[in-house]
Amino acid sequence: NDNDTGTGALGEEKSYINDEFLKQLDSEDDSTKLAPDVRQSFEIEVSAIRDHLLRFVCKQGESRIVDDCLVKIQSIHHDLVMNHNDAILTTDKIWLSTPPGLINLGATCYLNSQLQCLAQNLGFAHGIFSWKRRTDGAEVNSRMDRVLETMQSILARMRYGPCSIVCTNEFSAALSLENNEMQDPNEFARLLFDRMRETLRSSCIDGGDLGDLLPSIFGGSFLYITTCSECFQQTRKSEEFMEVTLPIADDVGLQQN
């Protein structure tokens, strides 16, 4: 990739990562940009992206927002196109980079599916990138520090690394996972987020904290209202949640849902 890694949309995102790790990524970029396992890309009609944005992201009539989204998408993917540096940008087509795949270490598909979703969540990625290990002598969880550090590394490679395949062995080792043992994805995410929330809550960055990162992205609250049938007085009770389970009836297909 011949683009300046310090400019554009990805340059802004990379500002969250420490300089030492960026140098490591840059060296990988130089050594692998001509390798057969380089991140792939494809060309797509701008009209197809515009239709998708109007259908799922923006409302009809919000053409300015759609145009802004297209510029952002083009800026991000332009910096990730590794095998078409000479591609000419046109008004009717743009090049999009294919996200890298993750190696299955045995039975770690549950882990890979979680990481693929998290890597595409900009708010989550930026929050994790801004985390730093505490060095002020405060009591810390060294194991979770290692987990967050390896997660930063994995997410950085997935978001703007040059390779088409990323290995999660360091992240799995930090979590002490049995690679040949399958786990329930929801239970795994619940336990991981609980431990991450504790560690992020104790981390201070520039006077702020990351304790509310996960609830602000994945959390919500139920409100239960009980009304007396005689006096109509209401009692309200709220309950926070970090996940919602949606049952699918056996006799209803996914398309109907």
Provide the pLDDT for residue 210.
83
| Residue 227: strand pairing partners | 234
Pairwise CA distance, residues 53 & 101, whole Å: 25
Q: Which residue stretches of the chain are H helix?
A: 8-14, 19-32, 46-52, 63-78, 109-119, 122-130, 142-160, 169-174, 185-201, 213-218
pTM for this structure?
0.74
Provide the pLDDT for residue 32.
42
Provide the pLDDT for residue 119.
94
Which amino acid type is present at position 176?
S
> In a structure prediction context, what are the per-residue pLDDT tens digits for the chain, which is 257 residues long?
333 333 444 555 555 555 555 555 555 544 444 445 888 888 899 999 989 998 888 877 788 888 898 888 888 888 788 765 554 556 788 888 889 999 999 999 999 999 999 999 989 999 999 888 877 665 566 889 999 999 999 999 999 888 899 999 999 999 999 999 999 988 999 999 999 988 888 775 554 578 889 999 999 999 999 999 999 999 999 999 888 877 777 665 555 54
Which amino acid type is present at position 253?
G
> How do strand 165-166 and strand 204-205 relate by DSSP bridges?
unpaired
Which amino acid type is present at position 82?
M
The residue whose two tokens read 């990379």 is 14
